[in-house]
Structures are given as C-alpha cells and as structure tokens.
Amino acid sequence: MKIKSAEIVISAVSKAQYPKNSLPEIALAGRSNVGKSSFINKMLNRKNLARTSSKPGKTQTLNFYLINEAFYFVDVPGYGYAKVSKTERAKWGNMIETYLTGRHELKSVILIVDLRHPPTNDDVLMYQFLKHYSIPVIVIATKADKIPRGKWEKHAKIVKEKLVIEKEDPVIIFSSETGVGKEEAWQVIGKWINDNESKK
Ligand SMILES: Nc1nc2c(ncn2[C@@H]2O[C@H](COP(=O)(O)OP(=O)(O)O)[C@@H](O)[C@H]2O)c(=O)[nH]1
Ligand SMILES: [Mg+2]
C-alpha cells in the first residue's frame, strides 16, 4: 500500500462528530497499551501520527485517521485498564458498542493482541462480541520482536486456541518495531477498502 496522505481528522466523543463522507472504516480494538497506536504509525510510515504512550488508559475518544483520502483507520480506546472508574467504563462501553454495532461504514475490525501472552479474557470477549455482530475480524498479534522467531508459531497457536478463532479470520504475526507482518496486514485490509488508487 502506498501511503500518499494520512491525517487525523477528528477525535470524536459523540456520534454527531463521526465523519459524514461515507468512506470505508477499519477500526482498531485491543487492550490498553497493547500497541494499537504503534500499529497505526507503522502501517502509515509515521513516527507519531497516533500518539503512543507507556501510560495506559489515555485515549477516551474515537480517533479517525483519513488515509489517501479513501478510507479511515479508527483508533478505539483500549479496554482492560484497571484504574478507570465504573462510570468511565460504562461510558466507554456505550461509545464502543454504539460505534461497532451501528456504523454502516465499518468494514472490519483489527483486533490487536500481544503475541507474547495468551489473549486476556477481555480479548476473548471482544472477539466474541465482534463475531456475534458478524463484524469481520483481522487479528494482529503484535510485539513479535520481543520473542524469538522460532517461538512465533507456537505463540500464534495459543492465540488462536484461546480466542477459539474461526477459520476465515486471519491471524497475522506483527511487530511495530521491525515491520514484520506489515505487507500481509495491508493485503488483508485491502480487501475491505475500495481504494483502487492504493492497489497500484
Ligand atoms: N517492542 C515493541 N514494543 C511495542 C510494539 N508495539 C507497541 N510497543 C510499545 O508498547 C507501548 C504501548 O504502545 P501503544 O502503541 O501506545 O499502545 P496502545 O495503548 O494500544 O495504543 C509503547 O511503549 C510502545 O512503544 C512492538 O511491536 N514491539
Ligand atoms: Mg493508543
């Protein structure tokens, strides 16, 4: 994928602020601190377009990144951060649920998990939620650079088993440090966006 342009257009706190130009959207979901922002930056060849943080639980908005004026990446606030209040968590749940279940432009959700560890119960819930609403899922198992290559497949198998992954759902081993898995990720994402320019 050739990235000609990438910009954040809105950090939305409510539905009224979502873009209105009907372009396809690919959302990114995952545990807080798993590497969503780093994934976006790596995919778009940008160092700091999506803010990365060593402090989890920061983003509480839906961040829309317009790419090649053709489609959006939507960074969804991470889940599983212990230090948020019940009220905050409920607000988070409502926002995510409304977006994921009611957004016509949403084509697929990239579920980011950590290749080093078995998916958390929250990861499993998110996967089940997406399957329940028949939202196509792409699993990205990131931070592959933190384990030896010889162990990747073994870890990927654990990811698939814990999620009880369905055959049609791709699981891609990825690293935002080294860029491994980037081409494969674009290939899979490309199927969900009608960006003919980008396929050149
Ligand atoms: N080694 C390594 N570190 C990563 C990778 N992806 C993210 N990180 C680190 O993990 C932390 C959280 O990343 P971030 O992208 O902010 O996570 P987010 O909360 O899901 O958006 C940061 O310190 C990143 O530098 C990766 O592929 N490899
Ligand atoms: Mg982030």
- Which residue, judged by its Cα, is nearest atom 19 of ligand 1? 33
- Give the span between the Cα atoms of 74 and 65, in whole angstroms: 6
Ligand nearest to the CA of 33: 1
Alpha-carbon distances of 200 from 4, 10, 197, rounded to whole Å: 12, 28, 6
- Over residues 134-155, the mean pLDDT reads 98
- Per the structure, how many domains does the chain have? 1
pTM for this entry: 0.93
pLDDT in tens, 126-142: 999 999 999 999 999 99
Q: Tokens in use for 59?
A: 């983003």
Asked if residue 199 is part of any domain, the answer here is no
- Over residues 111-118, the mean pLDDT reads 98
Asked if residue 39 is part of any domain, the answer here is yes
For residue 54, the domain's CATH number is 3.40.50.300
Asked if residue 198 is part of any domain, the answer here is no
Q: What is the extent of the structural domain holding 140?
A: 6-192
Burial class (CB in 10 A: 0-12, 13-18, 19+), 1: buried
Asked if residue 44 is part of any domain, the answer here is yes
How many angstroms does the Cα of residue 142 sit away from the middle of ligand 1? Answer: 9
Pocket of ligand 1 contains residue 37 by CB under 6 Å? yes
Computed from CA positions of residues 101, 103, 104, 107, in that sequence, does the dihedral angle turn out positive or negative?
negative
How many angstroms does the Cα of residue 52 sit away from the middle of ligand 1? Answer: 7
Which residues are registered as beta bridge partners of 112? 30, 140
Asked if residue 103 is part of any domain, the answer here is yes
